[in-house]
Amino acid sequence: METTIEIVRVLTHTQDNLQDVVKRIYYNLTGTKSGISYTSLNHWVDLTAADPNNFVPYSQLTKAQLEAMITSNNSYTGLRNHIEQTLDDKIAETTLTEKPLPFST
């Protein structure tokens, strides 16, 4: 399954003498498999304290670095698995035929 992360917004805070430390990232996640896509909206990850020895100023962060912060979070793994299961269900439905109900409602 291919995934696409759409970063919606980023919240920062001050940590000791570090300014604009990323604390929370809001994102949408889209999975695509066998030509079918499914998007799950309005998710976020809360990050642990920044390591002062490896701190990258907010203005220098790249999309790839923010995505890595998201994908290294345990909640991302569960969401990714949920999207893959949803896609598997949608793919399985493509082999089925929907019929009208055999009675009036």
Other C-beta atoms closer than 10 Å to the C-beta of 13 total 12
CA dist., res. 76 & res. 28, Å (int): 11
Q: Report if residue 63 sits inside a domain.
A: yes
Res 105: pLDDT: 82
Residue 71 lies in a domain: yes
Residue 99: inside a domain, yes or no? no
pTM beyond 0.85: the answer is: yes
**Domain total in the chain:** 1
What pLDDT shows up at residue 1? 97
Question: What is the domain range of residue 27?
Answer: 2-76
In single-letter form, the type of residue at position 47 comes to L
Answer whether residue 72 is part of any domain. yes
Question: Cα–chain-centroid distance for residue 6?
Answer: 7
Only one residue has tokens 């990850």, namely 45
Q: Could you read off the pLDDT of 18-67 as tens digits, one per residue?
A: 999 999 999 999 999 999 999 999 999 999 999 999 999 999 999 999 99
89 occurs within a structural domain: no
Does 8 fall in a domain? yes
Residue 84 pLDDT: 98
